[in-house]
Amino acid sequence: MSELLVECAKRLKLSQLRSHIEELTAEEVQFLEKLFTREIEQREQSKLNLLLKQAQLPQSGQEPYEWQHVQLPKTISKEELLDGAFLEKRENLILYGGVGTGKTYLSKCIALNAITRYGHKVRFYTVAGLVNQLIDANQKGQLNRLMNQVDKLDLLILDELGYIPLGKEGAELLFQVISMCYEKRSIIITTNLQFGQWNHVFGNQVLTEAVIDRLIHHSHLTIFTGESYRYRHSSIRS
C-alpha cells in the first residue's frame, strides 16, 4: 500500500478512497499520488497567500536584519525570537527604541516567519490605525465583530505606541483588546517611550498601569540603540 497516497487521502479528507487503495493498480496509484500532491501544494500556497494578505504587513525591503544595535534580554535568544518560540508560550515582545532603529522591521521579520513556517494567524496594526477602527466599530455597533477577528489571531502586532495620545475612548478600547489577548495570544508592541511615559498615551494613570501590568507579566523587553536607519541612508546627511 502506498503510504504517500494514504497520507494525501487523509489530508484531503477522502475517507472513501482510503478504504479502496489496495484495489488500485500501480499506474493508478502513481497518477493519484501526483494529482493529490499537486492539489495539497496548491491548497497550502493559497492558505499562505491568504494569511499574508490578512496580516497586512508593512511594505519594506527584504535585506538581512542588522543586529549590532539590538540589546536582547537574557530571557530570549535571536533564534527564539525569529523562530517564534515565544508564541507557543503566549509571551509578548516589547520593542523599545528611537524612531527608525528597526523595531517595525524586526516585527515584520518575526511575523513572516510565524506565517510562512508555522501557518500562524498574524495581524499588523499601527496603534493609531487600530484605535481608529475600534472607535468607528464601537460607534456603529460592530465592536464585537472586530474583537472576534482579533480573538482568532496567534500574534497581534501593535506598531508605533507613543506617537499620539489616544483619547479616553480610544485608550479604553485598546485596553480591552490587550486584556482580551492576555495569556491567550502573543502581542508585539513597538514604542519609542519608556514605561514611565506611557501615561501620556493613555491619559489615565490607573489605566496605564493596568495595560503595562498585563503586557509585562509574560514578556521580553528588547532595546534598540543607534541612529535612524533612514537618517543614516539619507542624502541630507552627506
> Each residue's pLDDT tens digit in the chain (238 positions)?
588 888 888 888 887 776 777 788 888 888 888 899 999 899 999 999 999 999 999 986 666 678 888 999 999 999 999 999 999 999 999 999 998 899 999 999 999 999 999 999 999 999 999 999 999 999 999 999 999 999 999 999 999 999 899 999 999 999 999 999 999 999 999 999 999 999 999 999 999 999 999 999 999 999 999 666 554 554 445 4
The count of C-alpha atoms lying within 13 angstroms of the C-alpha of 37, restricted to the half-sphere facing its C-beta, is: 9
Three cell numbers at 177? 483588546
Same domain, 40 and 91: no
Kindly state whether residue 136 falls inside one of the protein's structural domains.
yes
What pTM was estimated for this model as a whole? Answer: 0.87
Rounded to a whole number of angstroms, the distance between the first and last alpha carbons of the chain is 69
Q: Which domain holds residue 205?
A: 70-232
Same domain, 105 and 184: yes
Kindly state whether residue 158 falls inside one of the protein's structural domains.
yes
Same domain, 141 and 45: no
Return left, alpha or beta for 119; rule: phi > 0 is left, psi -120 to 50 is alpha, else beta: left
Amino acid at 93: L
Same domain, 86 and 144: yes
Same domain, 111 and 225: yes
Q: Are the CB atoms for 34 and 4 separated by under 8 Å? A: no
Same domain, 23 and 104: no
Cβ neighbours of 145 (radius 10 Å): 10
Same domain, 28 and 88: no
Kindly state whether residue 168 falls inside one of the protein's structural domains.
yes
